[in-house]
Homo-oligomer: A and B are copies of this chain.
Amino acid sequence: METDQLVTLMEHCGFGARRLSVAANIYEEMLSGEYTKFFTLAGAMVPAGMRNVVSGLIRKGYIDVLVTTGANLVHDIIECFSHHMMGDPEISDADLRDEGMSRIYDVYVGDDDFIKFEELLQNILPEGPGPFTGTEFLRILGSQLEDSKSILRSAFDCDVPVFCPALSDSMIGLQAWLRRQSGKLSVDAFGDLDELVEICYGTKRAGIMMIGGGVPKNFALQSMLVTPNSFDLAIQITTDHPEPGGLSGATLSEAVSWGKISPDAKQVTVYGDATINLPLLVSATLTRLEKKRAGSRSGQ
């Protein structure tokens, strides 16, 4: 059975299955229509193996604006020269420390990889003093990475801006701080907002796919607040729930009250682990698009 068939069958189910099938319908419309496509990425998705899914979407033209966390970019850079190790979540973390291993649930990163990361980063940090905008800063990093599977490199190649509003909250930030001990290097904390607002103003119709919540979700959604526009299509995949009240688990309906998402928007939340649901959703949607194209080509 193909993934798109499975997801289509889920239309007649309840609970999460129905939500996933609705998400596939919305994502198909988003990717095949004239939408400005936002994609937000929170949670340790790159260590968990979602890097190729995201960079693949960028290279296929399915992401116009990426908003993510510093950690995902750090691990994107590490994957340029090494691979995250598959580990065990139930283990002595004190022993891991002794062995020079840092754990991200069931994924390990060795100290040697962080050392290589630091060397690489010191080589590719912008020469000039700045102030750079965040997206400029990340374009400079991406332009110097040589791995075509890299998210940052793919974004550079495809001219997709990468927003990382909490850049200092990452090892990239710590390395920038280190560089500043011996030279000038600055990023303007509000510098990105011009580019983002311009995109939001310019969009006719906007769609957004949100993986996890956090700063990426809020930053992308709030960007519409200073424009007359709002999102017309919205999908989120999250393990958070609405009841604790935080934005990460907030319903997309709540965003309607703020004017971030249109009252007429098609929107759905898939509650579940994005490492399962994102690949399944992307695989099903891309297969549908390919079948459609094959259908058009053969004159159907």
- A binding-site residues for B, Cβ under 8 Å: 1-3, 6, 9-10, 12-18, 20, 42-44, 47-50, 69, 71, 84, 86, 89-90, 93-94, 96-97, 101-107, 131, 134, 165-171, 173-174, 176-178, 180, 185-194, 197, 212, 214-215, 218-219, 222, 225-226, 239-248, 250, 253-259, 263, 271-277, 279-280, 283, 287
Beyond A169-B222, A177-B193, A244-B271, 4 extra complex contacts between A and B, CB < 8 Å = A93-B255, A105-B242, A107-B245, A214-B214
Given contacts A189-B134, A189-B168, A246-B42, contact A17 B273 (CB under 8 A): yes
User: A6-B279, A173-B193, A226-B177 known; A93 and B253 CB under 8 Å?
Assistant: yes
Asked if A167 and B193 sit within 8 Å, CB to CB, the answer is: no
Give A15's nearest chain B residue, CB to CB.
B245
- Which partner residue on chain B sits nearest A185 by CB separation? B190
- Bound Cα distance from A25 to B253, whole angstroms: 30
* B170, B180, B276: the one within 8 Å of A16 (CB): B276
Contact A6/B280 with A131-B188, A225-B174 known, Cβ cut-off 8 Å: yes
Contact residue among B192, B194, B215, B245 (Cβ-Cβ distance under 8 Å from A214): B215
Inter-chain contacts of A173 with B (CB < 8 A)? 189-190, 193
With a CB–CB cut-off of 8 A, which chain B residues contact A104? 14, 245, 247, 250, 254
Indicate whether A168 sits within 8 Å of B186 (C-beta atoms), given known contacts A10-B276, A48-B14, A244-B239: no
Chain B contacts for A105, CB-based, 8 A? 14-15, 242-243, 245, 250, 254
- Chain B nearest CB from A108 CB (Å) reads 8
